[in-house]
Structure 1
């Protein structure tokens, strides 16, 4: 489009700024793309956001790992790890009902206390997406 090959990156930024295109690098630790068949997980990706005429476009650069589709439950488990496996027998039935990882995920995403996140998850029978949607 611009003849690209020998264009100075500084000159390219200047041209994009003149055209009203703003480019920002995002500090992302992980990106998950959910598809109907599986999830694509990018660990330590390079993420660039381009804002042109009010529309935002994201570019993700990195290696994707295909993970069997587990919805938000799988993302929560992958984010939080297996820390809940060492819980005692007294709390096992409560942990099985609503895992701490799910409560933490909902609380973080919705910006609410964990007690509110737990109540909302219980009201939605552990459905993470419904709980987050209600709290946002």
Structure 2
């Protein structure tokens, strides 16, 4: 296959039942892991279909990694009770405090 021009390669792949197409307009791809997210900005994505199965080839433009803080429902309820705030406010404060209950409560109560 080396030395084959792109047109010949496409023809051969078509004969083998392999279809390739580029996915247009993709702004980002997010890969969520247990404790972080990998954000791929402006990726080039190729969809390869072979024998009825789709595969996605992703070539990232810019890569960004973010830590993800997971907070428990019990912690959110405790912050809600102690700070006298609603669910979303308590959850956001806990996430900003990276799960630290005391810090979240102090931030919300101002003391």
TM-score range, shorter chain: 0.5 to 0.7
Q: 1:69 matched to which residue of 2? A: 68
Q: 1:46 matched to which residue of 2? A: 44
Secondary structure of 2:34's partner?
Answer: coil
* Alpha-carbon displacement from aligned partner over 1:9-42 (angstroms, at most 9, x marks no partner): 1111111100011111002111111122311111
Deviation at 1:67, TM superposition (A): 1.4
More helix by share: 1
* Alpha-carbon displacement from aligned partner over 1:92-123 (angstroms, at most 9, x marks no partner): x69748x9xxxxxxxxxxxxxxxxxxxxxxxx
CA RMSD of aligned residues (A): 2.6
* Alpha-carbon displacement from aligned partner over 1:63-100 (angstroms, at most 9, x marks no partner): 322111258xxxxxxxxxxxxxxxxxxxxx69748x9x
More strand by share: 2
Give the distance between the partners of 1:70 and 1:48, measured in 2 at CA.
Answer: 32
The 3 A distance-change label for structure 1 pair 69 and 95 is: closer
Q: TM-score, normalised by structure 1?
A: 0.47
Q: Which runs of 5+ in 2 are unaligned?
A: 71-85, 93-111
User: How many residues are treated as equivalent by the alignment?
Assistant: 76
Q: Which has the higher contact order (CA 8 A, sep 6+)?
A: 2
Match status 1:11 vs 2:5:
no
Q: TM-score, normalised by structure 2?
A: 0.57
Q: Which runs of 5+ in 1 are unaligned?
A: 72-92, 100-136
